[in-house]
Amino acid sequence: PLNLTRADVDFTCLGSCDYITGQAFSFVVNLDAIGAWPPSRDSHVEMDGAWALYEAWLRLQEGDIEIAVVTGSGRSSTGDPALIYPMEMDPYYLAPIGADPLTFAALQARSVIGAGIADERSMAEVAVRSRGKGTVDELLQDDYVREPLRRHDVPPITDGAAAMVLATGERARQMVERPAYITGFDHRTECHN
């Protein structure tokens, strides 16, 4: 336990995707959970928790804060990701092909299989361990959703949230015995760049 209070936090960055949630200012619920008193510097990034993490990390690098709380939340259950995600994509290269999340997951899986990192059997083994349903051989008999992915390879549409505390190296060493460090950051979203 860090024993931090809201007053100890210099900056809070909340990531939420209002477009998918179908609700403007959905990050406010996250801020309510954290507590908005005493007043502090808060920021909202419209996309995801990774952008929030990046913004807080940059602020720590600049040296104007020592402790930040970062949150990310998503509520995909209120919409249809197969319809919504393609509308969010790069309008020049990706949106015209109308690829949905499963198509991109299948392309990634095909790349992993092609590189020899995994195969369909090892992916089914993960599903059996994670979900505890069926056997590998049973799962491999299912039809493809998007080749090489079967239903067990595809995550359910779920809602979720995560939060983390970031601190400068000096403050982190004061708070915990063995802090983890982010030594660099690479957040790419636009394929044509």
Query: Could you tell me where the DSSP H helices lie in 71-133?
Result: 81-88, 101-114, 120-131
Which pLDDT score, from 0 to 100, does residue 49 have? 82
Which pLDDT score, from 0 to 100, does residue 191 have? 52
Span 6-32, pLDDT tens digits: 889 899 888 887 777 767 777 777 777
Is it the case that residue 193 has pLDDT exceeding 60?
no
Q: From the centroid of its chain, how far is CA 112?
A: 20
Span 95-127, pLDDT tens digits: 788 788 888 899 999 999 999 999 999 999 999
Which pLDDT score, from 0 to 100, does residue 187 have? 54
Which pLDDT score, from 0 to 100, does residue 189 have? 53
Span 155-176, pLDDT tens digits: 888 888 888 999 999 999 999 9
Which pLDDT score, from 0 to 100, does residue 100 have? 83
Percentage of the chain lying above the pLDDT 90 cut: 41
Pick from 5, 72, 2, 3: which is nearest to 40 by CA?
Answer: 5
Q: How far apart are CA 62 and CA 25, in angstroms?
A: 28
- Provide the whole-model pTM: 0.67
Span 62-89, pLDDT tens digits: 999 999 999 888 888 877 777 777 777 7
Q: Quickly tell me which residue has 């720590």 as its tokens.
A: 60
Q: How far apart are CA 73 and CA 20, in angstroms?
A: 11
Which pLDDT score, from 0 to 100, does residue 188 have? 57
Which pLDDT score, from 0 to 100, does residue 190 have? 53
